Amino acid sequence: MIYTVTFNPALDYVVRLPALELGLVNRTESEEVQLGGKGVNVSCVLRQLGQESVALGFVAGFTGKAIEDGLAQRGVRTEFIRLPGGLSRINVKIKAAAETEINGLGPAMDGAALEALCKKLDGLRQGDVLVLAGSIPRSLPGDTYEKILARLEKKQVLCVVDATRELLVNVLKYRPFLIKPNDHELGEIFGRTLSGDGEVRQCAEELQRRGARNVLVSMAGRGALLLDELGGVHRVDAHRGSVKNSVGAGDSMVAGFLAGYLTTRDYAYALRLGSACGSATAFSDGLATRAEIEALMGEDV
């Protein structure tokens, strides 16, 4: 089974307008409510690909109930921990001449809540997949990802970590199955701006040396690069299309990679499917659908 963890899932209120004028009343041309959170996105795209998953994390208030109901409607199983106070966050995504985001804070989580999550994770078994994606809320310790991976270290769970800077670097000693930085995040880790595949590969190889089994680097319009644990180097170019949405593209790539790998054990195919999923989301107003993914793959998935 695949388990995704979203510490701070959200409702994303997406509004579209010709231009955003500060200090004035702005009227939208359209609006919609989407489910938000990196792990939530992974679970939703996995469902499109026919892969079952369990979405874990924390919810609170009426917004938390709406998140649970929305995932149930999409066929995603949830086992969120309900917090006694606060509200799951509402994020405002403004799509005008440029994209602007106002992200909510979300409910406070304490040590007891974290331990309740860890006890759920104690039930994972060899061969299960755990996806840890995104930042850690300020109310939790900064080493939360490390503690989770340390707790699972002997269970032979396939751990996927999609995080930035120290959050990512500090878990490498636990040999995560997959990490997925983008090229800018990869450069931040090493304090440099990366130009060209050679520099990206050099930094990705260093993260492998530090413990990552597979390193998948997304590079937006330049495609993606994968260094697999067997010594293979795989490269795909970006798909051609009009980018409408940057939210969830990286999460969609993670979902596609996992679905491709788990069904074929073929890293090259997993990269192709991951790339198609990421692009399909980028070319859509929301998360990719199966039909959109298959159109980019040129085949059934």
Q: Which residues are known catalytic residues?
A: 251
Asked if residue 131 lies in contact with residue 3, where contact means CB atoms within 8 angstroms, the answer is: yes
Report how far apart, in Å, the C-alpha atoms of 20 and of each of 17, 25, 26, 100, 123 are.
7, 9, 7, 9, 48
Report how far apart, in Å, the C-alpha atoms of 184 and of each of 205, 210, 275 are.
16, 19, 17
Q: Which residues pair with 235 in a beta bridge?
A: 225
Asked if residue 88 lies in contact with residue 9, where contact means CB atoms within 8 angstroms, the answer is: yes
DSSP class of residue 39 equals H
> How far, in Å, CA of 53 to CA of 3, rounded?
6
Q: Give backbone dihedrals phi and psi of 256, rounded to 5 degrees, phi first.
A: -65, -40
Q: The sheet that has 10-16: what strands, in order across it? A: 30-36, 10-16, 89-95, 99-102
Locate 198 and state its tokens: 């050679």
